[in-house]
Every structure is written in structure tokens, then in C-alpha cells.
Amino acid sequence: MEWLFVIIILIVGLLVYLYLQNYYLEVNDYIVTIPKLHKNIKGKKILQLSDTHLKPRYNKGYIENIIQKVKDINPDLIVITGDLVQAGLPDLTDVPIRKLCNGLSAIAPTYMVTGNHDIQTAKFEDLTYVLDTTKVKLLLDEAEWITFNENEGGIVLMGLAERPAGEDSPKPRLKYIELTSEMSNQPKILLAHRPEFFKEYLDDKTKAPNLILSGHTHAGQMRIPFIGGAIAPGQGLFPKYDYGIFSYEEDQSKRMIITRGIGNSSFPFRINNRPELVVITLN
């Protein structure tokens, strides 16, 4: 009987641990210095979330918790860096896209780029249709001038569209993002789902972003102490770019932030790897 009691305690402990690892949101803050940033924009906060992998019967309470956390942070801008929905869904009925998107956009202007799961679900047109009924702006190889409601100063926010598997990516990767001549000389932030192309995002010097915001890796899904993430799509075992902030070797002012993301895809558990919201304060 004693062994049975111990086994029950261990099972309950494991279930509690897995629940916390999958639903206990962590907020991580970064202060990022961007050269030539207008004084009016310094101190502005960008909230980044990614990889929610929404699906039918998604935990509505969890979505409400995410929205409340973001509301408490009170960001000036919100960005979603891909994989809003889970791949392979036959349709988007009962997928709580509007609930999350309307909740976020009521807090601050919200922008999004696609991830690999987004373009593999139902008809991609269905997703864009649903997004069009919200106030979330989908950037597909587009750039927007973001002023944060200031009379002077701003940043260029670029969004890279995810390419279907098997389709050749343009060279350079930002080829299809068009910038005005005024935008070319302004501070730039790129939303790009896949971090493994960090260096390639900087190839075009006229569009090279000062900061890249990415997701996709789920921080390696399982984090091994003193080693890091175990595996990430596009990088394999022990990925170089798993999560956190990275600097470009040839220009330390060029940075990339990878969030651990919110949800799960094919592997249903996070281990030593809580879901995350990222807050970037511009400096």
C-alpha cells in the first residue's frame, strides 16, 4: 500500500508539473537599443507572442489569461510571429481566432505574420477571411510605418510571408518587401517566423532590420539544463537559435529575439520550458 501511495503521489506530481509547464505563462523582458531611434519612440513597449497553435476545443480560459496578462503589461504595440493556428485543420469552425485577436487588438495595434502551420490549415483563404473580420493586420511581405501615435518619429515594421514547403524562397529573403525611400533610412523591425535564417534576413543592406522577432522553435520543446533546447524544426538536434536574444557576429547592433511561444503542435508537452510572452522596450 505504501508503494501504491508513492506511485499515486508521483503521478499527481508529474501531472501538476506538466500542467504548469504548458499553461503557466512567463513574461520575459528585453531592453533593445536601436541606432537612430527617435526620442519619442524610446521607452515604447512591444509585446510579442507566437505559436499559439489554436484549434477546436482550445482552452478558452487560457486565452482569457493570455489577454489579461497582455492587458496588465499595457504594451504600445502587439506582434504575433506566426503559427496562430494548428496545421491540418479541415476548417476553422470553433477555432477561437476572433476571441484572441479581438482581445489583443482592443489593447494595442496588433500585427501578425504567417508561420508554417498557418499556411497548412484548411484553406489559407479561410484564415485570411477570419483575420479580416478582426483588427489584426496580417503582413505578407509588407511594411508599415508605425508612429505609436507620436507626432514625430516611428519605426518600419516589416512582415515576411511564410513560403509553402518545396517553394524556393526569394534571394535575398526580403526581396518582395517594398520600402519607400523614406523608410530605407529609418529603424526597422522584421517579423519572421523562422529564426534559422537570421543571417539571410540581413543580406539586403537597404532593408536589413535592426531587430528580428521570431518564433517557430518552441525553445527546443524540451530544455536540457546547461545545454539548451533539444530539437527544433529546420535546425535539428540542439539548435543554435532556440530562444532568447542573439546578436549578429558582424554587426552587434543587429539583434534577433526568439520567443518560446505559447502552445504546442505535434508533441503535446513542454518540458522545463514554460510558455512565454516577450516584452521589448525600445531604447
pLDDT tens digits along 225-236: 989 999 999 999
On whether the 2-282 domain is CATH 3.40.190, my answer is no
Residue that wins the pLDDT comparison between 121 and 264: 264
pLDDT (mean) for 11-36: 87
Amino acid at residue number 259: T
What pLDDT sits at residue 166?
65
Query: Would the pLDDT of 20 be above 80?
Result: no
Summarised one tens digit per residue, pLDDT across range 106-163 is 999 999 999 999 999 777 889 999 999 999 999 999 999 999 988 899 999 999 999 9
pLDDT at 164: 85
Q: Is the pTM of this model over 0.85?
A: yes
Q: List the single range of 1-10, 20-29, 208-217 with lowest mean pLDDT.
A: 1-10
Q: In what order do the strands lie in the sheet with 244-248?
A: 142-146, 155-159, 188-191, 211-214, 251-258, 244-248
* 265/87 Cα distance (integer angstroms): 8
Q: What angle do CA 163, 164, 168 make, to 5 degrees?
A: 65
Contact of 263 with 25, CB cutoff 8 Å: no
Burial per residue of 193-208, b for 16 or more beta-carbon CB atoms within 10 angstroms, e otherwise: bbbbbbeebbebeebb
Q: For the residues 37-57, what does the mean pLDDT come to?
A: 95
Work out the average pLDDT over 217-224. 92
Q: What's residue 177's pLDDT?
A: 97
In our burial notation (b when 16+ CB lie closer than 10 A, e otherwise), range 258-270 reads: bbbbbbbbeeeeb
Cell readout for 85 is 493556428
pLDDT of res. 191: 99
Residues contacting residue 109 through CB under 8 Å, at least 6 positions apart: 77, 78, 137, 146
DSSP 247: E
**Structure confidence at residue 89 (pLDDT):** 87
- Residue 19 confidence class, pLDDT cut points 50, 70, 90: confident
The pLDDT tens digits of the residues spanning 167-218 come to 778 889 999 999 998 899 999 999 999 999 999 999 999 999 999 999 999 9
**Location of C-alpha cell 499556411:** 119
